[in-house]
Amino acid sequence: MQIYTLAIQIGNLHPLFVHLPIGILIFAFILELYLRNRTSKETTQITKLAIGVAAISALLSLGTGWLLGEDGSYDEVALFRHRWMAVGLTVCSVALYILKISPVVWCKKTYMPLFVITLILLGITGHLGGNMTHGEDFLFQDNTIKEIVITDVNKAKVYAEIIQPILDNKCVSCHNPNKAKGELLLTDPTTIVAGGENGSILDSIDSNPSSFYTRIHLPVTDEEHMPPKGKVQLTDEEIVLLKWWLENKNCFDCTAGFLDKNEQTAAILKSLETDTSPRGIITKTVDDVPSEWVTEMNRNGYSIYPIAENRKLLLVNLSNKKHIAKGDFNKLKKYANNIVELNLAYSNFTDEMASALSNFKNLTKLQLQRTAISDKTIEKLKKMSFLESLNLYGTHVSGNSLSYVKDLAHLKNLYLYQTPVTESELLAFKKERPNILTKHVADSLFNEALLNKPYFVDATDFFNDGQEIKIEHVFKTANLFYTTDGSEPDTTSRKYTSPFTIKESTTLKVFAQKKDWKQSETVTMKFKKAGIAYDSIWLDIKPNKSYAGKGAKTLIDLKRGSENFQDGHWLGFQGSSFTTTLELKQPTQISTVSIGSLSRQSSWVFHPVGYTIWTSETPNDFKQIATKKIEIPKKVTNDSQIFYDITFAPTTAKYIKIEVQSILKNPSWHPNPGGKSWVFVDEIIVN
């Protein structure tokens, strides 16, 4: 058994030797052609050396390859062909060297023909070897990845759409018809159920987990771990999904919505969904719009609002403006691809300005009601492939415009009340595009049921002396009600009438209300006072180089990190706590230290489990003044960003030392218990 294992280990050197004869023989042949009329003693010695090394490497490749084939992982017919073609190639390589060094005349005449035959054998042998490793259709197969798009994960087939893609990406390269390690195939349900040389991989034995479950959870350094060390490993999320599938009796025909799942699994499954709507597609192709640009444009008379919290998609509202010029649209060109809604209703927009709309190819909603446009403007919209809603109420468009909009693939709503379009023209249009909802009725039906959320203008997470709070809504007549104590607002709360200033840390909540409309969702924003000036900051250990931000200064740059911990605003530490020291510009009385952290347990990121605060008026004599212990989570919790406040009796300090205590290792209930966990911190505020 030990001899067999040693033989297989030697055989594993085959990939190291197999490419040597290929490269050297091709190089030697090119060298022979190049030096054919330039023969000298030195050049002859060079080609002899090249052919000799090629022969030796062919022997090594043949020997190690022969041993590698003994592990039973390869198709027998393919292995037989490859082996004996390799034998022929090796024999020819050795013979080639003998002919090269021989002074006999007939040897010299036979040398080049044999060289050609050797190269042919080299090509055939290499092709057969490639077929065994990569599949018979490797050279000519379509290598484009056929992405499985899941729009509703509850309707997704668990095996075909969730599990098999994981196996294809991480397991099938070693468990396919051409290379079946352990006689195990993982290419389809039948072969998976059949198992390998050790029997079923799915069945539990004596209440122990199945071998499949056990192997994917072993440490990477374990010889039994799958995928083996050196291969691309399963992600934490993939391991959770495989475990979920196994726990549900490895069902091959079920849909995800019918299987039990915990919060973590549900969240991972939800992340598999792809938003195939126009806005979902656009979001993937554009970058965030700087808030500074939006602020500057709004100061110059525009009304621009982010559609989503990530600030990628924008709504531009120019309704009721009577002095719009073509140049106004040019100023929007910089981020035209981010603009998905454009409201020009009741404005002075005309056909003469219509050419400017060609810049806004990603519009999903365009409102042109009560403008002086005609069919000429609608003709300019033919390339707006994402357009879903078009409001032409009260315009001069005729039935001719319907020929322009009928080819807009995503169009769902078309408003034509009080236009020259006739009922017969509309009826003919509906026969061609029955999926478009055409509204040829009163303008009152154009209203959306739910109000858009209000927006904070020029707001930042942190402020020093005071923060002006300015709130706006798309509808200027909407009523805005808010609270500043973190409680939920209602119509009895304060009504927003004009900007106001806050002086202390505040949690502000606001919603919009308008007659005949459903009130908007509540918007929450937390403002943190950062009134104390820092002189410097340093860390006792360096953060992980992948999450180092701008070093220690990341913690005092007054910029919150996002849910994406790779955004450059987080400092990440794996498997360790850390201490940071702040130096204030001058001794100051303080009573609160606030620290922002992130939790994303699926990525091994946990909130700190405790903090300790020391202060001093000198660089050395620190005195502990506060500690805060935080309970270790006992189960999976949702991703979150939290600011922890550590309060203490007012004390005067110039230096503040803060220890951030990590959980260090994943808890026992985690899918990867004992793994080195992460702690991420983005900002420290002292008051």
Q: Hey, what's the torsion of the CAs at 339, 341, 346, 352, to 10 degrees?
A: 50
Amino acid present at 72: G
Claim: this prediction has a pTM higher than 0.75: no
Pairing of strands 578-599, 610-616: unpaired
Query: What's the rounded mean pLDDT across residues 503-509?
Result: 88
pLDDT beyond 90 at 620:
no
d(CA 672, CA 112): 61
Paired residues of 549 in beta bridges? 551
Query: What's the rounded mean pLDDT across residues 389-405?
Result: 90
Among the ranges 171-175, 509-513, 519-523, 640-644, which has the highest mean pLDDT value?
509-513
- Please spell the DSSP secondary structure of 611-632, one letter per residue: EEEEEESSSS--EEEEEEE-PP
Within 13 Å, how many C-alpha atoms sit on residue 494's CB side? 14
The model's pLDDT over 260-270, given as tens digits with 9 standing for 90+, comes to 888 888 888 88
**Cβ neighbourhood burial of 409 (10 Å; 0-12, 13-18, 19+):** exposed
Average pLDDT of the chain, as a whole number? 84
- CA 661 from centroid of its chain's CA atoms: 29
pLDDT beyond 60 at 6:
yes
Q: Do the Cβ atoms of 280 and 304 come closer than 8 Å? A: no
Count of beta carbons in the 10 Å neighbourhood of residue 444: 8
CA-nearest of 244, 255, 253 to 155 is 255
Q: Do the Cβ atoms of 548 and 542 come closer than 8 Å? A: yes
3-state class of 27 per DSSP?
Answer: helix
pLDDT reported for residue 25: 81
d(CA 2, CA 22): 32
pLDDT beyond 50 at 444:
no
pLDDT reported for residue 623: 93
The model's pLDDT over 639-659, given as tens digits with 9 standing for 90+, comes to 788 888 899 999 999 999 999
Query: What's the rounded mean pLDDT across residues 73-90?
Result: 77
Instruction: Return the minimum-mean-pLDDT range out of 55-64, 174-183, 497-506, 622-631.
Output: 174-183
> Using 50, 70 and 90 to split pLDDT, how confident is the model at 367?
very high
- The distance in angstroms from the start CA to the end CA of the chain is 70
User: What is the longest distance spanned by two Cα atoms in the chain?
Assistant: 110
CA-nearest of 644, 641, 622, 470 to 540 is 622
Query: What's the rounded mean pLDDT across residues 368-395?
Result: 91
3-state class of 220 per DSSP?
Answer: coil
pLDDT reported for residue 449: 53
Residues near 11 by Cβ (< 8 Å), separated by ≥ 6?
Answer: 64, 65, 66, 67, 68, 69, 70, 71
Q: Which residue has the higher pLDDT, 441 or 163?
A: 163
Within 13 Å, how many C-alpha atoms sit on residue 322's CB side? 0
Instruction: Return the minimum-mean-pLDDT range out of 43-47, 444-448, 498-502.
Output: 444-448
The model's pLDDT over 129-164, given as tens digits with 9 standing for 90+, comes to 777 666 555 555 555 556 788 888 888 898 889 989
Rg over alpha carbons for the chain, rounded to the nearest Å, is: 35
> Using 50, 70 and 90 to split pLDDT, how confident is the model at 72?
low
pLDDT reported for residue 439: 67
The model's pLDDT over 207-238, given as tens digits with 9 standing for 90+, comes to 678 888 888 888 878 878 888 877 788 888 88
Q: Identify the CATH assignment for 534-686 out of 3.40.50.300, 3.40.1190.20, 2.60.120.260, 3.40.50.1820.
A: 2.60.120.260
Q: Identify the CATH assignment for 455-527 out of 1.10.260, 2.60.40, 2.40.50, 3.40.630.
A: 2.60.40
Q: Which residue has the higher pLDDT, 294 or 8?
A: 294
pLDDT reported for residue 1: 47
Sequence ranges of the domains in the chain: 2-134, 153-272, 280-445, 455-527, 534-686
pLDDT beyond 60 at 441:
no
pLDDT beyond 60 at 404:
yes
Query: What's the rounded mean pLDDT across residues 10-17?
Result: 70
Query: What's the rounded mean pLDDT across residues 368-392?
Result: 91
pLDDT reported for residue 206: 61
pLDDT beyond 90 at 49:
no
Q: What CATH class is the domain 280-445?
A: alpha beta
